[in-house]
């Protein structure tokens, strides 16, 4: 699949090589019925190597999840075969239901309807903490 073949869909480009699969999982792309391409280690003049994800459907994308995994990634929206919008994400201030608090003492463990919200507390080190209990999101999150 290449970008020109998408009529209506989303291309997530400039993903740091190696982070594509993490993003694939966080966006739950395995649950989609449409064609999804996960392309790893693509040669890039700027980045050396990069990952690209192409989704062959015009679906809503959780930009916060993308920004969390890779703030340098870009999101290209394709409609009728043309690039209509290009978004540079950056590091989101808040993540809602992207990460899930693992602190057994956190209120999110008992309040089932509560959104899991993490806020950016240290942009330099990309540290997010749970809004409710301030537990730090761990690396594997």
Partner 1 sequence: MKSVISILDLSTDEIDDLVRTAGKIIQRPQDYSGICKGLKLATLFFEPSTRTRLSFEAAMYELGGNVLSVAGADTSSAAKGESIRDTALTVSCYADIIAMRHPKEGAPLVASSAATVPVINAGDGGHNHPTQTLADLLTIHREKGRFSGLTIGLCGDLKFGRTVHSLIQAMSRYPDNRFVLISPEELKLPSYVKKDVLQAQGVPYEQTTDLVGAMPDLDILYMTRVQRERFFNEEDYLRLKDSYILDMRKMAYARPDMSVMHPLPRVNEISVEVDSDPRACYFKQVLNGKYMRMALILYLLREVGKVEY
Minimum distance, C-beta of residue 123 to partner 1, in the bound complex (Å): 13
Quickly tell me which residue has 């978004």 as its tokens: 87
Determine phi and psi for 109, rounding to 5 degrees: -75, -20
Indicate the residue among 75 and 106 with the shorter CB distance to partner 1.
106
Indicate the residue among 39 and 133 with the shorter CB distance to partner 1.
133
Indicate the residue among 87 and 132 with the shorter CB distance to partner 1.
132
Minimum distance, C-beta of residue 93 to partner 1, in the bound complex (Å): 17
Minimum distance, C-beta of residue 3 to partner 1, in the bound complex (Å): 43
- The DSSP line for 52-65 is EEEESS-----HHH
Minimum distance, C-beta of residue 81 to partner 1, in the bound complex (Å): 45
Residue 114 CB burial class (10 angstroms; 0-12, 13-18, ≥19): middle
Indicate the residue among 30 and 140 with the shorter CB distance to partner 1.
140
Indicate the residue among 84 and 107 with the shorter CB distance to partner 1.
107
Burial 44-71 (b: 16+ CB within 10 A, else e): eeeeeebbbbbbbeeeebbebbbbbbbe
Closest-CA residue to 10 (of 32, 49, 36):
36
Interaction site with partner 1 (CB under 8 A): 103, 105-111, 113-114, 121-122, 130-134, 136
Minimum distance, C-beta of residue 12 to partner 1, in the bound complex (Å): 32
């Amino acid at each position: 699949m290449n970008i020109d073949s998408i009529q209506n869909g989303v291309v997530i480009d400039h993903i740091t090589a190696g982070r594509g699969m993490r993003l694939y999982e966080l966006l739950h792309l395995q649950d989609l019925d449409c064609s999804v391409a996960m392309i790893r280690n693509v040669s890039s003049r700027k980045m050396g190597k990069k990952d690209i994800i192409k989704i062959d459907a015009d679906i809503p994308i959780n930009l916060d999840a993308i920004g969390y995994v890779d703030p340098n990634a870009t999101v290209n929206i394709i409609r009728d075969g043309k690039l209509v919008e290009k978004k540079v994400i950056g590091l989101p201030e808040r993540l809602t239901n992207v990460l899930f608090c693992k602190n057994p003492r956190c209120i999110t463990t008992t309040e089932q309807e509560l959104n899991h919200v993490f806020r950016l507390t240290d942009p330099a080190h990309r540290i997010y903490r749970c809004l409710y209990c301030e537990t730090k999101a761990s690396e594997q999150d």
